[in-house]
Amino acid sequence: MKVTLSDLHRLLRVMARNLVKGSLHQGGAHYTMEEYGSLVSQAQVRSVELQRLTQARAADTWTDGDGPVLWWMLPVSEAPYVGTPSDQNWPGTHTHWTPLPAPTLESVAKTSTIQ
């Protein structure tokens, strides 16, 4: 079963409300244990992805292979610098970095039309 991101969000809300009540349905729509199992598995994967994107790493762990990233000064009090330490305008004051997130185009593809 393929679960889209919007399905994941919707089913997480259903789970939060209904599992506490011991119910596996919402408004007459019943969800199978397979659907809930798939949802939980995908939620775990997304949670790991979110942790990977938001975990601040020490500046000395960055390598050229990481490419451009978001550079932070902790505690966070301003927007991050985007780039690499080899950039000409590198400020050199940032102590931590996080990867640049890649956009999710799933919802764009569903709503956009080519004219």
How do 57-58 and 29-30 pair as beta strands? Answer: unpaired
Question: Which pLDDT score is estimated for 87?
Answer: 95
- How many Cα neighbours within 13 Å face the side chain of 89? 3
Point out the residues of the chain with pLDDT beneath 50. 114-115
Distance CA 78, CA 73 (A): 8
Which helix (H) or strand (E) segment holds residue 17: the answer is helix 5-21
Question: Which pLDDT score is estimated for 58?
Answer: 96
Its sign, for the CA torsion 60, 61, 66, 71, is negative
Q: Under the phi-then-psi rule, with left for phi > 0, alpha for psi from -120 to 50, and beta for the rest, what region is 28?
A: left
CB 101 within 8 A of CB 79: no
User: Considering the entire predicted model, what is its pTM?
Assistant: 0.62
